[in-house]
Structure 1
Amino acid sequence: MIQPINDNPFAGQGLSVFDHNLELPRHRWYEFKEGFSENLIHHAVEEVLSGLGGREPKLLDPFSGSGTTLVTSGRLGLSATGIEVNPFLAFAAKAKSAPGRWNERKFQHVLDKTLLSSQHEVRSPLEGVSTFTEKDGINKWLFNRSVLRGFTAIDRALEDAGQYRAPLRLALIASLMECCNASKDGKCLRYKKDWRSKGLDSNNLREAFRINTSKVMEDLTRHQFKASGLKLLEGDSRTRLKKLPKASYDLVVTSPPYLNSFDYSDVYRPELFVGGFTNTNDELRMVRLQTLRSHIQVGWDPTHEIHSSMIPPILAQLQEREDKLWDKRLIPMVQAYFSDMAEILKECGRVVRPNGQAWIVVSTSAYAGIEIPVDLILADIACRYGWKLRGVNVLRNIRSSSQHWNNLEEGVKSSLRESLIILQR
């Protein structure tokens, strides 16, 4: 029986959090709360190197997010492929993987020209749309009109920035979100307490842009980076993986969406719309339909596949407590999630060379007081598809949601955990 390993060399190192990356070149261009540490990749690469006979490993991340695996690989001079379904995050990963080193004087010239030609605010097409700006009938809005108009002016000026455009545009979007009246908090946006009194305008945006572009310029012009072996594939990893050649990678390092009902296309909805990555709710829905079935934002087709003997008892317990679930669609979501992840694990096994490894960061989950050992179930599924389990290493304990916590009896309350599953072919 598979058991989590609490006493392991990876525990307590912060490998499952992105915070450590915010001081590192390129990673720091955009804060991505759901990412993992660059150090995780360092550990994984060091582990597989001994079995490659001096050959450099080729990496794969089927859930690229904002590109932690790609950026780290570029910083190490390695080749890597990432897959990402969210158009904004795919853009962020590509921008952070831009070739370096660049000429600082030319970069500064492009930046100065951009700022000079964008001094006058330009009306945004998002004014009056949803809650993006102030309008009749609402008392809260994401962006003050001046901020959004300042963004539009700079964004249009960047159309002439050539090869510098993507990194500068990412810096601009990061600056816009710093001037947003709300901040990300889990699966939603929460309005800042002092957003009204701050009265942010386009001048605040331009100042944030200057600060962020200085980081970009420093990283692009002063730090070594090998971009030639990096590739970002945009789309659904369940279908994209099938098109990759057999036995073409040595190491998978990834963190799939947790089974926590977060819809990341909703979490990053502001960026998707302000950046023009989606322009309508129908386009946003098309993105959602391609995401892993870890949320209930759209109606999924039911699945009846069972890939582990650990799944039916959990589904039965959830059925017994259905009246305590905040949405009855959570039960088929749980089953669909493991079906999707089985497909991912199977395809990763196909594209990884013999003796290659997979390092996967996941979290356990809980609904209506029923804990779901996601890490153990995924490890069991992987073994059924030819992977050898090297361990389910507990990285840290995390507090479960209040909805789950309140459904547990006193004396049996427990924390959820984030774990590192290490697999080998």
Structure 2
Amino acid sequence: MNMINANPSVEAHYEALEAQWNSVNGSLQFERLVVPTGNSDSPFHRWFHLKEAFSRDLLPTMLKQLSFEGMPELKVLDCFAGGGTTLVSALELSSQVRVSATGIERNPFLHHVSSSKVMALQAGPALAQQLRRAYAKIERLYTSDTPFVADTPALSTFSNEAYFPPVLLTSLLRIKAAIEHCDVSTPTRDLLLTAAASCVESSSRLRRDGRALRYASERQPREPWVEFSIRVQQMIEDTESSLSTTGFASVILGDGRRPLQHIDESDKKDLVVFSPPYPNNIDYTEIYKTEAWYLGFYEDADQFRSQRFRTLRSHPSVRFSDEYDYESSGDAEAVHELLKPILDAVPEDRYATGRRQLIKGYADDMLTLFRHCRKIISSEGRLVYVVGNSAHGSGNGLFVIAADLIMARLAELANWHVEEISVARSLRRRVTNSHFLRESVVTLSPS
């Protein structure tokens, strides 16, 4: 197969950028850690599969690499908490170090999942018995003759019988109704709703393929009650065998790009670690929409659309405002110099406006994020981000958005020092000769 040449001007631009920093091959150390290796088999982490997560082992690996082991206290912040991998991993270290971990998550469903995990881990083994009793009550309600069922979400996806066979949809909705009718504590109810929501995809002919929800006609949906029972049993096993943690973790529903909206500037962090949505056109509001609608986080199309406008500008699913804070800042010229070769490479086709807005919007959001994080990092602290680069366009119009390098330069503008760019793995989704199509772990220190 012939290799496609990525835009040479953009490639030269990235070569010049990368030459300024210490860029190393980190595949031996990080290749398995930038994907969710081990999460599906690990207590608490396994409660909901987030395909875009990194491994539960990334945080302890980073602490060792940064010589943070042995610290009496560790304050951690994850600006894009997702399914809670960083927070759960931090709490699991609390027998070795006094941990305080904070996460921020914009997606209401993922916030629910991550909050449920950290709440359960902090509650300890006593929660297992509460879950057993609650499950028994729900089973009695579910199997009774009582003619109740939750309302079908307004999202048209649920009304498509090819996606959700009616008998299975009825079962899903009856599980949710049983949980809501059950007299249990709010924390326990939240865990049970997490278990129910984790059955939505497997009870349908839909699958997340990394870019969107796809209809898979050959897929055999699973019976919701069986799936739900398996997941609740996992929760019981995990909480029963957990050790009481001395750490503390919480998840804030808010804007991860602006942590100072949620965290006091005096609350300095030792480690900020996150993996933001990559600039690859993936809209996570769309990908996890069925679970969010099932739990009632959106009631109509307007609420769903509003959520999209609240997200990081990593996708063109909605037409964001064509306004960028950096253009009126003292860094306007430097950001323009950084982005111009990439913007000039955008092919003049029907996607041109959306692609240019994505590039400028993503840079604007990242610069804001780095500025906020710089104000809450301790003097000896570190910021670590995991990000993947992406190819856009086709044929002679193909170009790469090297988010790892773009973000590194933006971090410098926000008064960070780029310690190391560790290339974790190559991404082989597109046939191109660009070695910048990759996923990296980048370490920053305060200048």
- TM-score normalised according to structure 1 size: 0.88
Query: What do residues 199-247 of structure 1 show as CA deviations (whole Å, max 9, x unaligned)?
Result: 75xxx11111111111110111111253861111102223443442225
Distance in 2 of aligned mates of 1:150 and 1:374? 43
Which is further off, 106-115 or 353-362? 106-115
Distance in 1 of aligned mates of 2:264 and 2:155? 44
Determine if contact 1:122/1:150 at 8 Å carries over to the other structure.
no
In structure 1, the residue matched to 2:184 is 161
Q: Pick from 381, 384, 397: which aligns with 1:356?
A: 381
Matched, 1:234 2:253: yes
Determine if contact 2:389/2:436 at 8 Å carries over to the other structure.
no
Matched, 1:336 2:361: yes
Matched, 1:244 2:269: no
Distance in 2 of aligned mates of 1:175 and 1:125? 17
Q: How many residues are treated as equivalent by the alignment?
A: 403
In structure 2, the residue matched to 1:61 is 78
Distance in 1 of aligned mates of 2:236 and 2:211? 32
Partner SS for 1:259:
coil
Matched residue type, 1:354: S
In structure 2, the residue matched to 1:322 is 348
Q: Pick from 1, 14, 18: which aligns with 1:2?
A: 18
Partner SS for 1:186:
coil
In structure 2, the residue matched to 1:114 is 138
Distance in 2 of aligned mates of 1:145 and 1:327? 42
Matched, 1:72 2:89: yes
Matched, 1:258 2:286: no
In structure 1, the residue matched to 2:234 is 215
Distance in 1 of aligned mates of 2:287 and 2:276? 16
Cα 1:50–1:232 shift into 2, 3 Å: closer
Determine if contact 1:70/1:81 at 8 Å carries over to the other structure.
yes
Matched, 1:382 2:414: no
Determine if contact 1:118/1:157 at 8 Å carries over to the other structure.
yes
> In the TM superposition, what is the alpha-carbon distance from 1:106 to its structure 2 partner?
3.9
Matched, 1:311 2:352: no
Cα 1:5–1:231 shift into 2, 3 Å: same
Determine if contact 2:200/2:291 at 8 Å carries over to the other structure.
no
Cα 1:14–1:107 shift into 2, 3 Å: same
> In the TM superposition, what is the alpha-carbon distance from 1:54 to its structure 2 partner?
3.5
Matched residue type, 1:230: A
Determine if contact 1:74/1:225 at 8 Å carries over to the other structure.
no
Determine if contact 1:175/1:208 at 8 Å carries over to the other structure.
yes
Q: Which runs of 5+ in 1 are unaligned?
A: 135-139
Matched residue type, 2:302: D
> In the TM superposition, what is the alpha-carbon distance from 1:310 to its structure 2 partner?
2.3
Determine if contact 1:10/1:393 at 8 Å carries over to the other structure.
no
Q: Pick from 204, 207, 210: which aligns with 1:180?
A: 204
Determine if contact 1:132/1:141 at 8 Å carries over to the other structure.
no
Identity between Structure 1 and Structure 2 (%): 29
Superposed counterparts of 1:33-182, under 5 Å = 33-48=51-66, 50=68, 54-77=71-94, 78-98=99-119, 99-102=123-126, 104-119=128-143, 122-126=148-152, 129-134=155-160, 141-159=162-180, 160-162=183-185, 163-182=187-206
Distance in 2 of aligned mates of 1:116 and 1:171? 17
Query: What do residues 93-122 of structure 1 show as CA deviations (whole Å, max 9, x unaligned)?
Result: 001112222254443222111111112574
Q: Which runs of 5+ in 2 are unaligned?
A: 1-16
Matched residue type, 1:256: P
In structure 1, the residue matched to 2:42 is 24
Partner SS for 1:394:
strand
Partner SS for 1:230:
strand
Matched residue type, 1:36: F
Matched residue type, 1:187: R
Q: Pick from 189, 192, 200: which aligns with 2:216?
A: 192
> In the TM superposition, what is the alpha-carbon distance from 1:11 to its structure 2 partner?
4.3
Distance in 2 of aligned mates of 1:376 and 1:252? 18
Distance in 2 of aligned mates of 1:413 and 1:189? 29
- TM-score normalised according to structure 2 size: 0.84
Query: What do residues 283-334 of structure 1 show as CA deviations (whole Å, max 9, x unaligned)?
Result: 111111110111111121113534533211111121xx223x6453111211
Distance in 1 of aligned mates of 2:295 and 2:246? 24
Q: Pick from 224, 234, 248: which aligns with 1:205?
A: 224
Distance in 1 of aligned mates of 2:443 and 2:129? 45
Cα 1:310–1:56 shift into 2, 3 Å: same
Partner SS for 1:187:
coil
Cα 1:223–1:199 shift into 2, 3 Å: closer
Which is further off, 37-46 or 345-354? 37-46
Matched residue type, 2:365: D
Partner SS for 1:175:
coil
Distance in 2 of aligned mates of 1:193 and 1:161? 38
Superposed counterparts of 1:288-299, under 5 Å = 288-299=308-319
Determine if contact 2:200/2:290 at 8 Å carries over to the other structure.
no
Which is further off, 161-170 or 77-86? 161-170
Matched residue type, 2:93: L
Distance in 2 of aligned mates of 1:79 and 1:373? 33
Determine if contact 1:259/1:364 at 8 Å carries over to the other structure.
yes
Matched, 1:365 2:401: no
> In the TM superposition, what is the alpha-carbon distance from 1:274 to its structure 2 partner?
0.6
> In the TM superposition, what is the alpha-carbon distance from 1:127 to its structure 2 partner?
6.5
Distance in 2 of aligned mates of 1:170 and 1:347? 31
Partner SS for 1:176:
coil
